[in-house]
Amino acid sequence: MIVFAIHHVVTLLVIPMNLYYYDNYYYWSFIGIQQFAAAFQLSINEYTYFLDLKKKGSLCKMQTANVIVFVQVIITRGVYYLWISYNLIRQWILDKRWNFVWVGAIVLLIFTFHNILLCIVPYYQRMMKFFNYKKNQEKEKNQNQEKEYIELSEEKEN
């Protein structure tokens, strides 16, 4: 529920922005880049679900796809998002729209946490998961072999 609320807190700005800043470049860039980022991330994620990591070349495709998405997330949900937010707040200050400044700054700050905690960090973790995939598979295999050895040893003792 909290994730849903954080994700949709930015809607507090939509109607006022449509009324007062309907022709603002940064407002429409904000809307467009967030939608593009989400669509691109979901599309690549769906593609990766069809990859069979047991087949040769699939792990490389998975790693490549995850690097592409992570770079896109850093650019759209990180750098470009902060640039757009800065310019929106700057515009509100220049126009002396203090309600926009206070409410908008709080909303954009909350959405910054959304971008970091629910987009950038998870995609970084996903990317690293597949770069360490072979190492983790070998580690898991060794742990399973150790468990089997211990179980066999216990059975012989009984």
Q: Domain-by-domain residue ranges, the chain?
A: 2-133
Is 69 a residue whose pLDDT tops 70?
A: yes
Q: Between 50 and 131, whose confidence is greater? A: 50
Q: What is the pLDDT of residues 2-43, one digit of tens each?
A: 766 776 777 788 889 999 999 999 999 999 998 999 999 999
Q: Which residue stretches of 76-132 are H helix?
A: 80-94, 98-115, 121-131
Phi-psi region of 56 (alpha: psi -120 to 50; beta: other; left: phi over 0): beta
> Which pLDDT does position 68 carry in this prediction?
96
Q: pTM value?
A: 0.79
Give backbone dihedrals phi and psi of 140, rounded to 5 degrees, phi first. Answer: -65, -40
Taking a C-beta distance cutoff of 8 angstroms, is the pair 66, 126 a contact?
yes
> Which pLDDT does position 141 carry in this prediction?
72
Tokens 């937010």: give the residue: 85
Is 129 a residue whose pLDDT tops 70?
A: yes
Q: For the chain, what is the mean pLDDT?
A: 88
